Structures are given as C-alpha cells and as structure tokens.
Amino acid sequence: MNTSPTAPTSPDTVYRSPMALAGGVLTLLVVGGLAVDAFLHGSARAVWTAVGVLLLVVPVVVAFTFRPAVLANEERLRVRNPLRMVTLPWGQVAGFRSGLSHEVLTEDGRKFELWALPVSLRDRRKTLRKAERAGERGRSAAPAGLGSPGAAGPGGVVDEPPRRGTDQIVGELRERWERQVKVSTAQGEVTVRWAYELIAPVLAGLIVLLVLRFTG
C-alpha cells in the first residue's frame, strides 16, 4: 500500500511545457465564452448542457495542459502526469529512455512517461544531423590508422551530440540521478497517487450529459 511521501528537504526544479500552458489558456477561454453565452441566452436545457460540458471538459483540459510537470530535487523525482502523481526516490530510478516519448524506468521494472516533456522530432532530427556532420569532419581530419577518428574527444571521452529542447532536460535529470542514486537521503519507495479531484468532475459531467440525452 502506497504511503504519502514526506515533504522534500530541498527545493524542486520544475519543468513544464510552455506550449501546453498556452494551449490550455486558449481552450479554456473558448469553452468559457461558449458557456457564458449559454448561461445568458440559452434555455434551461442549454444551461444544464453547458454545466455538463464544463464539468467534463475543464478537468480534461487542466489535466493535459496545466497539470503535467516534472519536479526534481536532491532526494527524488516527481512526475505529475494528467491523472497520476508518481514520486520516485533517486535510488529507485533505473534510468531514462527517449524515443517517441521520454520515460523514466524504475528498479522494479515499471516505466512512467514524462508528459510534461514532449519529444520534438524536429529538434531530434537537427541533433542527429549535427552529430553526423561532426562525425564526417572528424573522419576527414584524422590521420589514417587510428581506429574510429572523431569518435572520442580529449582524454578518450566519447563526444556526446549536442542536446536540444526536452532532450537537454532529460540529460539534466539523468546527471542528477547519477549523482544522487546512492545517497542515503534519496532512498525509499515509489508512490503513485491518482488525481481523483479531476476524475470526479469528469464523471459528474458525463452523468449530467447522459441524463439530458435520455430525458430529451
């Protein structure tokens, strides 16, 4: 059974999507304008329909635009997704994986998507093109017979392609995890909390709309 996490002892670094926030504001303005019009000029049925739509739509918009965030401090990583808050002490994190989405992996085999950090395929392609060009310049400039020219930087350290956008953020999270994974204050259990405060009004809105549908 999951227990409530204790308060963090170091401040959180918060990562969110500005585009999602802007989209949420615009959507709520449109929905709010339509609802106000229904309240002022609509029939009783229109008013109840507007109430049902607001109960249904507003929590969904909040869940997918305002709510998602990644919060990291020296003890733990918190992943606030649309309907869940996942708290992961760094000692329970097994790594990060990036593909069509960014994910954090846990020691017990679970994975959680980082909704607040959408993957930009455009930035990913730019990064790959820069890495390819850097590799080509290294191969053309290095003397023959040295193995894989351009593959390593000074001191034999492999050069990493430049990170962009959310890839850079995930890189920062990975670096913090590598520093903190063995620290005693960064141990504990993974906890998951569902956002019942958003789920409940959505269900209420569905009930209102279904009642209107079958009583009309």
Residue 152 lies in a domain: yes
Banded model confidence at residue 23, pLDDT cuts 50, 70, 90 = very high
Domain presence at residue 148: yes
Whole-angstrom distance, CA of residue 142 vs CA of residue 124: 27
- Is residue 47 situated within a structural domain? yes
Closest CA to 17 of 123, 162, 125, 169: 169
Sign (positive or negative) of CA dihedral 131, 132, 134, 139? positive
CA dihedral 154, 158, 163, 169 (to 10 degrees): -100
Number of domains forming the structure of the chain: 2
Taking the CA atoms of 137, 165, 171 and 106 in sequence, report the sign of the dihedral they define: negative
Task: Answer yes or no: is pLDDT of 144 > 80.
Answer: no
Answer whether 105's CB lies under 8 Å from 111's CB. Answer: yes
How many residues make up the chain in this entry? Answer: 216
pLDDT at residue number 151: 35
Q: 108 lies in a domain?
A: no
Q: Whole-model pTM above 0.85?
A: no
Report yes or no on 128 lying in a domain: yes
> Does residue 112 lie in a domain region?
no
Do 189 and 157 fall into the same domain? no
Task: Establish if 8 belongs to a structural domain.
Answer: no
Look at residue 154 in the predicted model and tell me its pLDDT.
34
- The mean pLDDT value of the chain amounts to 85
Examine the domain organization and report whether 36 and 63 are in the same domain: yes
Could you report the per-residue pLDDT of 68-126, keeping only the tens digit for each? 999 999 999 999 999 999 999 999 999 999 888 999 999 999 999 999 999 877 766 76
pLDDT digits (tens, 9 = 90+) for 41-63: 999 999 999 999 999 999 999 99
Q: What is the pLDDT of residue 99?
A: 84
Tell me how many degrees the CA angle 71-77-80 measures, rounded to the nearest 5.
55
State residue 140's pLDDT score.
54
Does residue 146 lie within any of the structural domains? yes
Same domain, 159 and 188: no
Looking at the structure, tell me whether residues 187 and 80 fall in a common domain: yes
- pLDDT beyond 80 at 36: yes
Q: What percent of the chain has pLDDT over 70?
A: 77
* One domain, residues 64 and 125: no
Q: Which domain holds residue 151?
A: 121-163
